[in-house]
Structure 1
């Protein structure tokens, strides 16, 4: 009986030594993820980053907007006294946000319908726009092509339900808004 226990222990010892040697001879690439240590993970990260550097560079139009090279603008061909032309020239190919406010006397559900109609009207005129409601009477109109925002602004200020739009730090009141009427009355007093 002692002899069989000694043989079993010897066999177990030989087997465990063999397994340890086998683990040591395995490449870090062949290891099970559960058996990897910090050094193996570092090597794996280095290999991952090597592959990233070898990739070809993307074409400029495939890059995210903030990484695209800036378009050259010839200001000699632009009327710099006209802010609309400046926005069109400088925002070509860039996204742009416009805040749109409906008159306060219009109910929220009606304001939502009106802004949907405006969005559809602009899209029917080939102006790519996404609308994000902020409050009941206020939305953000997001333009993928910023130069189209001027045409949208000109359309919106003609709408009787519009209070004002904010674009590039400028506020433009609607043609029928109370602010526009009060400005007109001040001018006539002078």
Structure 2
């Protein structure tokens, strides 16, 4: 008799819990509730998404086959290691024809460079963080090194920072070139 009463209590508690879950209004769900619900839904999903449909943070990084590597420099090695990963590059600008570098000047030139890179099949997004500084974001990090080579030759670039390494541009003064 004692076992039956425990089962009855358990069933009543489970029913009450299910009723409270059912009665919750959809508009009262918080972001955390929705995220938890989504995660539960993903865990219980029998069909797994193919690798290319997963969000970038859940994809497996590409494996490096060290036997095929014919890198001539550490930069070539880094280029292969960053292939397929998101990478950001900082670019400093200076209007060499004027005393002040304006935001409109920087936006104009970064937009032109972005178009030139895109025409060369290098896809990136540009975000202005200061009047004279921009972030170039690459979905494929291997392309960032091509962009670095291109940008360090542009007239108004003072410096390019990629993976913690700074590369001077033509607009960098002698003092800045010595610091880099």
Q: TM-score, normalised by structure 1?
A: 0.66
Aligned to 2:117: 122
Indicate if the aligned counterparts of 2:168 and 2:177 stay in contact, CA closer than 8 A. Answer: no
Indicate if the aligned counterparts of 1:122 and 1:128 stay in contact, CA closer than 8 A. Answer: yes
Distance in 2 separating the partners of 1:90 and 1:137: 30
* 2:63 corresponds to 1:72: yes
* Count of matched residue pairs: 147
* 2:121 corresponds to 1:98: no
1:109-137 per-position Cα deviation (integer Å, ceiling 9, x unaligned): 22221111111111111111101110111
For 2:49, which of 38, 52, 58 is the aligned residue?
58
Indicate if the aligned counterparts of 1:78 and 1:85 stay in contact, CA closer than 8 A. Answer: no
TM-aligned CA deviation for residue 160 of structure 1: 1.4
TM-aligned CA deviation for residue 61 of structure 1: 1.2
Aligned to 1:139: 134
Aligned to 2:12: none
Question: What secondary structure does 2:155 align onto?
Answer: coil
Distance in 2 separating the partners of 1:135 and 1:94: 25
Indicate if the aligned counterparts of 2:61 and 2:84 stay in contact, CA closer than 8 A. Answer: no
Distance in 2 separating the partners of 1:111 and 1:50: 45
Which protein has the larger Cα radius of gyration, Structure 1 or Structure 2?
Answer: 1
- Structure 2: where are the runs of 5+ without partners? 1-14, 24-32
Q: TM-score, normalised by structure 2?
A: 0.69
RMSD over aligned Cα atoms? 3.0
With over 3 angstroms needed to count, the CA separation of the structure-2 counterparts of 1:57 and 1:152, relative to structure 1, is same
TM-aligned CA deviation for residue 80 of structure 1: 5.8
With over 3 angstroms needed to count, the CA separation of the structure-2 counterparts of 1:137 and 1:153, relative to structure 1, is same
